[in-house]
Amino acid sequence: MELIDQVTINDLSKRDLLLIIKSLEFTGKKTKNKDFIELRNSIVKELCFLTETSEDQFLTYLDENC
């Protein structure tokens, strides 16, 4: 379990990050399970805070650079 403490966002490619975000959104809509949408929103919110961007800017950047 000590290895999991070493996992960082740097270990994910932009493509993988975009895939995770889109997968959570898709699954949330299809299953009507709010937990998936809340997790997606939480991840995006934190990443936008860290990059000092809006959600639209952040997602557009990922879309254009994957």
pTM above 0.85, yes or no: no
Number of domains in the chain: 1
- pLDDT above 80 for 3: no
Q: Is residue 5 part of a domain?
A: no
Residue 43 lies in a domain: yes
pLDDT in tens, 42-56: 999 999 999 999 999
Q: Is 2 inside any structural domain?
A: no
Tally Cβ neighbours within 10 Å of residue 44: 18
22 is in which domain, residue-wise? Answer: 11-64
